[in-house]
Structure 1
Amino acid sequence: MPACGELQDIDTQTIAEFKDVKANVERLLDAFKFRDALKEAMNLARIGNKYIADCEPWKVAKTDMKRVETILNISLQLVANLAIAFEPFLPFSSARLRKMINIDTFDWNQLGSTDLLQAGHQLAEPELLFEKIEDDVINFQLKKLEETKKANEAANYKAKEIKPNVPFEDFEKLDIRVGLIKACEKVKKADKLLKFTIDDGSGQDRTIVSGIAKFYKPEDLVGKRVCFIANFAPRKLKGIESQGMILSAEDFDGSLSVITTSADVKPGSQVC
């Protein structure tokens, strides 16, 4: 551990930045603001990184090694403070850091001090405190969390309440048919929409636009027999006239599954 020499303005400013860390962390912990308290502790690392970057000891070493000793002294004092500040949040990392700077014990009341390490103190072998987490590992964990979330939602799923009764005559007004999907493509500038060309048994193809693009690839739907409402008034979606509505079931997670037939019934067959 090098000795601390004459302090420059940047040294005194840096020391002033972290002298109140103990009071700030304790205040936040007392208010049960654990995340903010951890951020305050991590702020020591930010202060240290900025100090090293601003002082550029690798350049100063060419002309003034005494100045480099002061820079390293203050930097290592910051590291020692980090080892204390981390203890309530990352006890294992704190222990590893103390091992690297060769400190067996510490006193929480020393947090914020600039003399935790004395000149001549022997440091231990340094090592990486945190391993770099690659993107594929992060993505794997995120996918795992999403799968767990979906599994929990599925296990706790409860069907929505049945809507109020309606006269049977209202149902009879709907003309629900089976249609054979001959072609399917994405609608330009519309992430949710697919355009279907459907054989409805009339001898003239029918166009239907449906908002299920998030759940299906167009090519996966071609050749399927789906149920659709044939007597809805035509309406334009993104400039395309849609002549009906394809029926889908909404799962617990909001995903949609088109209603199909279990047998290859003729296009135009009525659903009753």
Structure 2
Amino acid sequence: MILVIGATGVVGRHVTAQLLEAGEDVRALVRDREAALSPQVKVVQGDLGDRESLAAALSGVEKVFLLTTGGPETPLHDANLATTAADAGVKHIVKLSIIGAEYGFSDLVSTWHLAGERTLRQVAARPGGPAWTFLRPGEFMSNVRLWANQIKTQGKVFWASTEPAVAVVDPRDVAAMAVTVLTTPGHEGKTYRFGGPEALTVAERVGKIAAALGRDIELVEVPIPALLGAVKKAGRQPLVVETTLGNLGREEFRIQAKKVLPVFAEVVGRPPHTFDEWLAAHLDIFR
């Protein structure tokens, strides 16, 4: 049995679907029992802040995919999961971390994930503790969804930190990494920093969307604080977006974010999806 935490999110939905395709027995921890998931997924209600509900969700589970929200509660939630999983006899936890954890960056989000990683390492060191694997992707291709309403209503994209090129990654590929690590041997105690197959600036991504739609889209650069109201309205954590965009103003982050790495192909056995492929599958959200 594999427990998926974060099963209703952008990556988690792909993880559950791909695990089912692989013939795995899947359980999902959700806050809302009415969450729209495949009927093949065994749904349990609970919260990472509630160890009692975690204990129930982890009963009989061998492996866990851990996706926390990336907010300030991340270290506590990761600690709750790790310690409860150890008590339940879980064998392996795969944590979705972040690029900044790979390079030891000191921004808020990287620090939160690093604290969670350290807890998993510490718990794994106990006799019989669960093994860990950390996945450290870069920016998701799907973040351009935040531009959809602007494109549809104004024919414009208002964004900040538009100059740096980033090797954006398809959430389907993040899930494929997780599923490979969960279902094949030899990944315990390893970290995987990976991204997409090409580094693209914001202008290049906007240009690809415009070409696919067959109309012009104007890119307007604005200060980061000007975006936060719309980000919150879209259901994203403003502090996380503010931190991520702020990182792109740091030279050491830019250097790492644009790297095209062979890791995904080495682990999964196929090339990662391109931005054009992601866009073709999601173009309707911009129409």
Please classify the TM superposition score into its range, dividing by the shorter chain length: under 0.3
Greater C-alpha Rg: 1
TM-score, normalisation: structure 2: 0.20
Answer 1 or 2: higher relative contact order, Cα 8 Å, separation at least 6: 2
